[in-house]
Amino acid sequence: MQLSERHQEYWRKNLRLTAVLLAIWFVVTFIVIYFARELNEIVIFGFPFAFYMGAQGSLIIYVLIIWFYAHRMNQLDKEFGVHEGDEE
Amino acid sequence: MSTQSQFFSQLKKYYTFYTGGFISFVIVLAILEQMGLPPNWIGYIFLAATIMLYAGIGIMSKTADVSEYYVAGRRVPALFNGMATGADWMSAASFIGMAGTLYLTGYDGLAFIMGWTGGYVLVALFLAPYLRKFGQFTIPDFLGSRYGGNLPRTIGVVAAIICSFVYVVAQIYGVGIITARLTGMEFQIGVFVGLAGILVCSFLGGMRAVTWTQVAQYIILIIAYMIPVVWLSVSHTGNPIPQIAYGQVLQEVTAKEKELNDPTTTLGAAEASVRAIYKEKQLAAEDRIKALEAAVAAGSADAVVGEARAALDAELVVLKATAEPDAQKIEAKEKEIAELTGPDVLMAKLKKAADGAKKSAGPVAPHATPFSGKGAEKKLLATNPNATAAEIAAAKAEDEEASNVKRRNFIALVLCLMVGTASLPHILMRYYTTPSVREARKSVFWSLFFIFLLYFTAPALAVLVKYDVYHVLVGSSFASLPAWVANWAAVDPTLMKIADLNKDGLVQLAEITIGGDLVVLATPEIAGLPYVISGMVAAGGLAAALSTADALSHDVYYKMIDPKASTVRRLAISKGLLLVVALLAAYTASLKPGDILFLVGAAFSLAASAFFPALVLGVFWKRANYLGAVVGMLAGLAVCMFYMYTTYDFFGGVAANEWFAIKPIAAGVFGMPAGFLGVIIGSLISRAPSTEIQQLVDHVRYPNLEGDIKAQTA
């Protein structure tokens, strides 16, 4: 079948959301590791910052990223009328 | 659907009841312990009770229906699917090994924490919802339909079997260790007892039994992990939330590390004297290595080996001649003599001794500091106070280079673990069991949430135990060691070894050798909790190992089935295969293959190289086609395996073959780009896929697409 303009837009929005969240994931993982030696000079809650991120901070952000994605996409499905049947 | 929500509240009721039951069970055992029940009885009771419980759940959810067997009827609610995936994910390595690795390596161990959680972001964004919408049973199914033809599917099956088998072996190994600890059985027997438990569960009810058992296992393992840590945290800091409290503890640990490394303090001076002894041992071993090498070159190696054997024989005579001969020590020595068969064995032994002594001769590595260098600058200044500026600069550069190599490896490892997480077939197929795409997305969230609970506790546990060792154990007198130290040193010298090397009657850090697995297993005793909690921790570790092995053995065999066979036949064949695979894995595990961490890491690297490019491009790039998938998967696998083969010593590889000094465990870092390139090039040089396949991609992309090719059947 031919996809409608709205369908295309849904997919574009999905891609944009995916890209933004992936960028956050990249920063809290790889950028933080790359500069770990320098970032450890900063102290947060009594922890050196890079250590804190590796042990807790990044993990919390991962959980939030996934929560936000599920929440936002489930909303988008409804907005664009591509959600599944009547479960809830 | 109201039936679905009814089902959900029923499940909640069952598991609340179950959790209460488990806690009362532990309390009853604690009372019995007070009344004098011996510890190994507690071990047996825990082992029997938990395995019976899992088997009971398996029997209750017995099924012969194909859809129930493979995907639990596709009605597992997100929350419970998350818990089951969490249990599945957290193997013995996470439960027992993780905190220990962090204890031993500090910041550098965090690669595992980050890698094994961050990977779920990739699962959520790139795979879970799409695979659920696709709605088949397995990952090779997806590859087969998306790329057409049998080849992509077959490559998928082979790659899945390689990854899963490697992983199952590691799990069964873990089951064996815990069963042996808990009951005092032989390791080899423990492996097969544990295996029986695994088989009972997945034989009966397939994915349904596995899922409901895993929820039960998650509850046990998380309770077992948390109680001792919380207790330890309260006793050291007065704060019951260890994850918050350990920031302050970490600072104290860091201060102590400085003191121990500073020879002008009393503690530091004592440490230095022990390190000097290790330095001598290291030099002695290195001299013997040189002598042996010279002898080998001169063709007189046998004489040197003979001398070494004579020395061991003399030691044996001394052991036997003591007033109270120690049977264990005599046996160990006899074994050592029997194993000394040639110059290769002797060389390996000497190298190990030299490396071990070298490690203990160095200063304490600071826990929170990432990528510590080699300490070349410090060494230079210590040995040669008049070093020229050029020499100092050279030493500094050497340190920085060492540190950069560590950072590069850390990044590569994190990437491989993350992408591998998003490619392991047994994790991805979890999201086939949810009722809808919507639930699949939520389910990834719950999975990571439940995994996160344990993973963000592990670094806290490592620091709390380190605090205890540095502040209570170090500096105490050998005459009055804490009970747990003596107990564990008696149980297994690879976990806890302590000896007064410099004969000052006091414990120095360098005199203690701790095995990583000790940290979790001994925490209850360090915290002064009763034995029943130790039993519970071991039961938690068993739950972790069993839950992973369950799903995996399940996963390995069901990919091999003939898709055209009838349902009954299919189930019968797959159960037979399960038995064969499980026995094979148990046999392999009972041989104690060397490095478990490498095995696990290798499975991740292989999965990342073989699957990730073809899966992700299959959803996000319509142009990807048959040839691309075949070339990409083969290229990824080939590069990854080639790299491991040429660099890992088990296969006769050498470190000199490494590219950019990346360790073989992170071979996927080269396999992945090869895989992506392969898919892209292969696709571009051949025709675009058919409209039908392009429509399949649309079908997968939209949770509900009207007029879709499969709208009715999905």
Identity of the residue in B113, B244, B442 whose CB atom sits nearest the CB atom of A55: B113
Instruction: Give the β-pairing of B496-498 and B512-514.
Output: antiparallel
* Burial tier of B207 (Cβ tally within 10 Å: 0-12, 13-18, 19+): buried
| B610 three-class SS | helix
The whole-angstrom separation of Cα B260 and Cα B508 is: 9
User: B353: closest CA among B293, B407, B287, B438?
Assistant: B287
Q: How many Å lie between the alpha carbon of B568 and the closest alpha carbon of chain A?
A: 32
Q: Which residues of A touch B708 (CB under 8 A)?
A: 1
Tokens of B22: 């488990």
Q: What is the pLDDT, as a whole number, of residue B70?
A: 59
pLDDT in tens, B561-572: 444 455 566 566
Identity of the residue in A55, A62, A83 whose CB atom sits nearest the CB atom of B704: A83
- β-strand partners of B496: B514
Q: How many Å lie between the alpha carbon of B691 and the closest alpha carbon of chain A?
A: 10
* CA B521 from centre of chain: 15
Q: What is the pLDDT, as a whole number, of residue B570?
A: 59
Interface test with A, best of B103, B114, B434, B450 (most A CBs within 10 A): B114
What letters, b where the CB count within 10 A reaches 16 and e where it falls short, cover B460-488? bbbbbbbbbbbeebbeeeeeeeeebbeeb
Q: Cβ atoms within 10 A of the Cβ of B19, count? A: 14
The residues, ordered by sequence, that sit 6+ positions from B598 with a Cβ below 8 Å of its Cβ are: B648, B650, B664, B665
Given pLDDT bands bounded at 50, 70 and 90, which one contains residue A87? very low
DSSP letter (8 states) at residue B239? -
- 3-state helix/strand/coil string of B699-710: HHHCCCCCCCCC
Q: Do A1 and B707 touch (CB under 8 A)?
A: yes
Q: What is the pLDDT, as a whole number, of residue B554?
A: 55
- ipTM for the predicted complex comes to 0.94
The whole-angstrom separation of Cα B113 and Cα B245 is: 19
The whole-angstrom separation of Cα A81 and Cα B677 is: 36
Interface test with B, best of A31, A43, A51 (most B CBs within 10 A): A51
Q: Do B113 and A59 touch (CB under 8 A)?
A: yes
Q: How many Å lie between the alpha carbon of A14 and the closest alpha carbon of chain B?
A: 9
- Ranges of residues in chain B with a pLDDT under 50 are 1, 560-564, 711-714
Q: How many Å lie between the alpha carbon of A20 and the closest alpha carbon of chain B?
A: 11
Identity of the residue in A40, A66, A82 whose CB atom sits nearest the CB atom of B704: A82
- E strand spans, B579-625: none
Q: Enumerate the domain spans of chain A.
A: 15-79
Q: What is the pLDDT, as a whole number, of residue B713?
A: 41
Q: Are B663 and B635 in contact (CB under 8 A)?
A: no
At B202, the amino acid letter reads S
Q: What is the pLDDT, as a whole number, of residue A23?
A: 96
Tokens of B593: 């293959």
User: B340: closest CA among B292, B305, B288, B291?
Assistant: B305
CA triple B105-B110-B116, angle to 5 deg: 135
The whole-angstrom separation of Cα B490 and Cα B497 is: 9
Identity of the residue in A14, A54, A77 whose CB atom sits nearest the CB atom of B113: A54
Q: Are B80 and B343 in contact (CB under 8 A)?
A: no
Q: Enumerate the domain spans of chain B.
A: 611-714
User: B552: closest CA among B217, B212, B218, B207?
Assistant: B207
With the C-alpha atoms ordered B428, B432, B437, B443, is the resulting torsion angle positive or negative?
negative
Longest dimension (CA), chain A: 58
Identity of the residue in B250, B410, B445 whose CB atom sits nearest the CB atom of A47: B250
Tokens of B375: 């300490």
- E strand spans, A28-82: 43-44, 47-48
| B593 three-class SS | coil
Q: What is the pLDDT, as a whole number, of residue B110?
A: 93
Per-position DSSP letters for B174-203, written without gaps between them? HHHHHHHHHH---HHHHHHHHHHHHHHHHH
Q: Which residues of B touch A41 (CB under 8 A)?
A: none
Q: What is the pLDDT, as a whole number, of residue B263?
A: 84
Interface test with A, best of B249, B445, B455, B699 (most A CBs within 10 A): B445
pLDDT in tens, A37-69: 889 888 888 889 999 999 999 999 999 999 999
User: B500: closest CA among B488, B489, B487?
Assistant: B489
Q: What is the pLDDT, as a whole number, of residue B294?
A: 85
Radius of gyration of chain A (CA): 18
Tokens of B388: 């020229």
Q: What is the pLDDT, as a whole number, of residue B480?
A: 82
Q: Do B368 and A73 touch (CB under 8 A)?
A: no
| B498 three-class SS | strand
